[in-house]
Amino acid sequence: MKPRSLKKYKMYKLSLTHLLAMRNINATRQQLLKQHDLTSAMEWFVLGIVYNRTQYGGIRVTDVASILHVNATYITAILNDLKRKGYVQPQADAADARVRLIVTTARGGEEVLAIEDGIRRAAERQLEGRVTTEQFEGYLHVLGVLAESYKLDESLR
């Protein structure tokens, strides 16, 4: 499918609109994260990834780093903070006891669900009556395409 031409749009205006939207989203998220003893969006992303993989036995530090396109040392530091807060813990891989996997604790899982609910309710309040479900799904689709393009296009890095 060939994309429509973007010539009719001013790129600085699109970028500015995106920036302002992200500032709003980030401010809302940071307020909620602070209530749950998380200090950064990256802590939240790591906790969410670990939570999603806990039901499958956990995830390796290197896999978390790969998903987030960062180095494992950085993720290890974040996981140490999350462990200190009681949100995650290491455990041996059932298939290979030499391998350490990270899983969420019961408390960590409860925090993920509470934060998800808080962010979802805040977004619903901000969007109610202003954006249809179809429009929001279209927005998510475009974000997904752009995120995937980043992975594929070396010139964007």
Inter-residue contact 46 to 111 (CB < 8 Å): no
Q: Does residue 84 form part of some domain?
A: yes
Q: Quote the number of domains for the chain.
A: 1
State the pLDDT at residue 98: 87
Q: Is-above-0.85 flag for pTM?
A: no
State the pLDDT at residue 35: 94
Q: For residue 118, what are its two tokens?
A: 């808080």
Domain of residue 20 covers: 11-127
- Tell me the three state secondary structure of residue 5: coil
Per DSSP, 2 falls in state: P
User: Chunked in runs of 10, what are the mean pLDDT values of the chain (157 residues)?
Assistant: 76 89 90 94 97 95 95 97 97 89 97 94 91 92 83 56
The span from the CA of 123 to the CA of 116, in Å, is 11
State the pLDDT at residue 94: 87
Tell me the CATH number at 110. Answer: 1.10.10.10
Residues in contact with 123: Cβ distance below 8 Å, sequence separation at least 6, in sequence order: 28
Burial of 127 (0-12, 13-18, 19+ CB in 10 A): middle
Q: Does residue 153 form part of some domain?
A: no
Q: Does residue 151 form part of some domain?
A: no
